[in-house]
Amino acid sequence: MNEQVLNRFEKWQRTAWIVGVVGCILWLIGIVVARHTAFQSYWFAWIFWNGIGFGALSILMLHILSGGAWGNVVRPTIRAAIFTIPMMAVLMIPIFFSMGDVFPWATVHGLDQAMPHKRVFLTTPWFIVRAVIYFAILITLVRIFRVHAEVGDDRISRLASGAGICIYGICMLFACTDWIMSLVPRWYTTMLVVIMMAWQFLAALAFSVIIVTALARAGLPVTTKQLHDLGNLLLAFVIFWIYVSFGQFLIIWSGNLPREISWYLPRSAGGWQYIAVALATLQFLIPFFLLLSRARKQHARRLLPVAVMIFSTNVIEVFWLIVPSLRPTGFHVAWLDVVAFVGLGGLWVGAFLGFSKRQLAAALPAGKEETHG
């Protein structure tokens, strides 16, 4: 094991924990100053960081079922990412005590008379019960993969992945309805869950590529074929993301139905329209043309900036998906948005490094600075 690299990972982990704790303390202070904004910011940050673990779980199941050398190099990263899911389940608990600050249906007035069919589904007790069920199912999957990977039982892992892909999709369907769609109770769509799973997969994949390409410069053995496959996966899901996102917009807008269009109205004014253009440019247009280059996909140094761009733009996408429903008056980034994002991010990165540092450091040959450009 490369002890020097392991010590560096431990230093990064301590820094991440410190940043996370300080951010969370500042967020707690923010509750006193602006409770409403604090919990809205927390919800945005929680959705993003939790989504990386969910996306990593889908990548792991996909690789177990399909195989391929590309998955071997990202396996330590995605395994460590799925192990953060139990922590994120615990970090959801603060929202249970502030439902009215985030979800309009949880306020005193509740749902209006036009939605009697949602009165049973959208209640705080059932919301909590469903969240517990989602996490219980997905954490069970994580546990299965962890135990059987340690004993080398691939047969059980393949069976769990085959069923798990379907179970994951069903859980995300209901979770998307609860966590994102119910922020605008009168609105509904069948495509949002696909968009949600697309950005989760893309965020987890981009994060894994960042780790792999960064460590390739420190000696992580990565072949040109593996990098090329990872670049192709990024390209495929960048195209898939724009397809489902624009497809939903086109169908809803051309249908010209007030209830469906209501979700897009706050996102088409007040500065949010520029965020939508930035998303299309930074998460599709630029990465699409960059990833068409074979040379870029086969060199870690060239692929790294593209992965960083996609991952960073995913933060903007989640902000665009969540915040306009909570603050329809126009684009605005509150200081608590940054504090909550950095605080939860520090805790997530600290936990991730704790799970991954020994596996990643062990994969690095001692005494080598760089093995792949």
105-150 pLDDT, tens digit per residue, is 887 666 665 566 677 788 899 999 999 999 999 999 999 988 876 5
What confidence score (pLDDT) does residue 151 get? 47
Rg (CA), the chain: 21
Quick one: average pLDDT of 288-308? 94
What percentage of residues in the chain have a pLDDT greater than 90? 65
246 falls within a domain: yes
Quick one: average pLDDT of 206-229? 89
Q: Compute the mean pLDDT over every residue in the chain, rounded to the nearest whole number.
A: 89
Angle at 352 between CA 350 and CA 355, to 5 degrees: 110
Better-scored residue on pLDDT, 21 or 330 = 21
Q: With CA atoms as reference, report the closest residue to 201 among 78, 294, 326, 94.
A: 78
The CA distance from 62 to 20, in Å, is 31
Quick one: average pLDDT of 246-267? 84
| Domains: count for the chain | 1
3-state DSSP helix/strand/coil % of the chain, to nearest 5? 80, 0, 20
Confidence of residue 102 (pLDDT cuts 50, 70, 90): very high
Better-scored residue on pLDDT, 121 or 41 = 41
Better-scored residue on pLDDT, 266 or 357 = 266
C-alpha pair distances (Å), 149 with each of 61, 142, 158: 12, 10, 11
The CA distance from 256 to 191, in Å, is 17
Confidence of residue 363 (pLDDT cuts 50, 70, 90): low
373 falls within a domain: no
Provide the token pair at 70. 């590309």
370 falls within a domain: no
The region of weakest confidence among 5-9, 78-82, 352-356 is 5-9
Quick one: average pLDDT of 302-323? 96
What confidence score (pLDDT) does residue 18 get? 97
111 falls within a domain: yes
371 falls within a domain: no
Better-scored residue on pLDDT, 165 or 7 = 165
What confidence score (pLDDT) does residue 365 get? 64
What confidence score (pLDDT) does residue 110 get? 62
What would the DSSP string read from start to end of 262-327?
Answer: TTTTGGGSTTHHHHHHHHHIIIIIHHHHHHT-HHHHT-HHHHHHHHHHHHHHHHHHHHHHHHHHH-
The region of weakest confidence among 37-41, 115-119, 139-143, 364-368 is 364-368
Confidence of residue 370 (pLDDT cuts 50, 70, 90): very low
pLDDT exceeds cutoff 90 at 68 = no
pLDDT exceeds cutoff 90 at 26 = yes
Confidence of residue 185 (pLDDT cuts 50, 70, 90): confident
C-alpha pair distances (Å), 133 with each of 120, 168, 336: 17, 12, 30
pLDDT exceeds cutoff 90 at 341 = yes
pLDDT exceeds cutoff 60 at 205 = yes
Confidence of residue 366 (pLDDT cuts 50, 70, 90): low
Query: For the chain, how long is the longest CA-to-CA vector?
Result: 69
Quick one: average pLDDT of 312-325? 95
369 falls within a domain: no
278 falls within a domain: yes
59 falls within a domain: yes
Better-scored residue on pLDDT, 369 or 94 = 94
Distance of CA 84 to the CA centre of its chain: 12
pLDDT exceeds cutoff 90 at 254 = no
Quick one: average pLDDT of 193-208? 95
Quick one: average pLDDT of 311-317? 96
Confidence of residue 364 (pLDDT cuts 50, 70, 90): low
What confidence score (pLDDT) does residue 72 get? 87
Q: How many CB atoms sit inside 10 A of residue 29's CB?
A: 12
pLDDT exceeds cutoff 50 at 368 = no
What confidence score (pLDDT) does residue 310 get? 97
Look up the domain containing 116 and give its range.
Answer: 3-363
